[in-house]
Amino acid sequence: MAVKIRLQRHGRKQRPYYYIVVADARAKRDGKFIERLGSYNPMTNPATIELEVDRALDWLMKGAQPSDTARAILSYKGVLYKKHLQVGVIKGALTQDEADAKYAEWLTQKSDQIQAKRDSLSANADEQTKVRLEREAAVAAKRAEALNAKLAEAAAEAETQEAPAQEEATEEVDAETPAETEGEAKE
């Protein structure tokens, strides 16, 4: 029986997450599996990977073949490097203590790289937020200036329309007053 380490898709449309499983190569992609080793969520940045390293190493040492994506995940988490060191121990090139020390050093370097990426993503997000807020403030200031200019223009136009209207009203009052006085005088 050929055994594969592969991904089993879950999640809704456009929002996948995967289980990392050991399954018979003849089984369906999302079908029956032998053991679940962990999970992988590609929707986060950086991708979230939870993996039982010792169980994955055990299956690799027994001859399980990872799929391409599973191989990349196992490499990212250091399982393939640990297998490489373990094979060196079996052949006598390394002692178990040396292999463990090299793996621990690799893990610290990898965790530093991941933390640096998270920090850069956070700083980049903060910078983008700052730039976006500055742009929004500039647009708001332009809109406020345009509104103030329209209001000032409307006020000036209203004043120019009121002045002739007032003059016409006083002329009408002046024109009516003599007629009224003449009408009153006739009576």
Domain at 61, CATH number: 3.30.1320.10
Count of helices and strands (H, E) across the chain = 4, 5
Closest C-alpha to 114, from 50, 48, 46: 46
Are 117 and 46 a contacting pair, CB within 8 Å? yes
Helices (H), 4-95: 53-62, 68-77, 79-91
As a whole number of angstroms, the distance between CA 27 and CA 4 comes to: 10
Mean pLDDT of 121-135: 89
Residue 147 lies in a domain: yes
pLDDT at 152 over 60: yes
State whether 109 and 72 are in the same domain. no
Higher pLDDT, 143 or 46: 143
State whether 41 and 103 are in the same domain. no
Q: How confident is the model at residue 121 (pLDDT cuts 50, 70, 90)?
A: confident
Tokens representing 114 are: 């991941």
Residue 178 lies in a domain: no
Residue 144 lies in a domain: yes
Residue 10: beta bridge partners? 17
Tokens representing 95 are: 């002692």
State residue 182's pLDDT score.
Answer: 54
pLDDT at 179 over 60: no
Tokens representing 99 are: 């292999």
Helices 53-62/68-77 angle, 10° precision = 130
Total structural domains within the chain: 2
State residue 177's pLDDT score.
Answer: 56
Mean pLDDT of 127-149: 91
State whether 18 and 74 are in the same domain. yes
Residue 138 lies in a domain: yes
State whether 124 and 63 are in the same domain. no
* Percent of the residues in the chain that have a pLDDT greater than 70, as a whole number: 86
Q: What are phi and psi of 153, to 5 degrees?
A: -65, -45
State residue 22's pLDDT score.
Answer: 94
State residue 176's pLDDT score.
Answer: 58
pLDDT at 173 over 60: no
Residue 178, preceding bond cis, omega within 30 degrees?
no
First CA to last CA across the chain, in angstroms? 128
Mean pLDDT of the residues in the chain = 86
Are 35 and 55 a contacting pair, CB within 8 Å? yes
Higher pLDDT, 153 or 173: 153
| Residue 90 vs residues 14, 37, 85, 97: alpha-carbon distances, Å | 44, 24, 9, 13
Q: What domain range includes position 135?
A: 95-164
State whether 101 and 64 are in the same domain. no
